[in-house]
Amino acid sequence: MSERDDLDPAAAQRVRARLEQGAQQLNVYTVQRLAQARAAALTGVRTPRTSRPWLLPALGAAVAAALVVSVTLQVMHKPDAGVAEVANLDLELLTAHEDLDLYQDLEFYAWLDDEHESS
């Protein structure tokens, strides 16, 4: 059975009356807009979309700029060989079983080295 068969005639009449009453209470502007929309729908006329010829080149430029920034950051972020060398030296110092008293007086040895270089 279809939905039309399920709806009794009295209910359909009440719905139709309410819709007619609502349509009569619309303002002039709304009625004109509805008439234009109906005419456009019946003729198959679509409203023209605004053309944006600059959108594709702008999108291309944005993608290119993002690519340049990404590559530049990757090149600048390459780990330095000196960092790995210092990390290995630190690891050697931490794992060594030697006396670490020398490192407590490191400022004294730096001063002694400066004095030796200046004389």
**Structural domain that includes position 7:** 3-43
**Is residue 17 a part of any domain in this protein?**
yes
Strand segments, DSSP code E, in 25-107 are none
Task: Provide the domain count of the chain.
Answer: 2
User: Above pLDDT 70, what percent of the chain?
Assistant: 81
Q: What is the mean pLDDT of residues 98-113?
A: 78
d(CA 90, CA 100): 13
Q: Which residue has the higher pLDDT, 98 or 2?
A: 98
- Residue 1 has what pLDDT? 43
**Is residue 18 a part of any domain in this protein?**
yes
Q: What is the mean pLDDT of residues 21-28?
A: 86
Spell out the residues 6+ positions from residue 10 whose beta carbon is closer than 8 angstroms to its own: none
**Is residue 71 a part of any domain in this protein?**
no
Name the pLDDT band for 95 (thresholds 50, 70, 90). Answer: confident
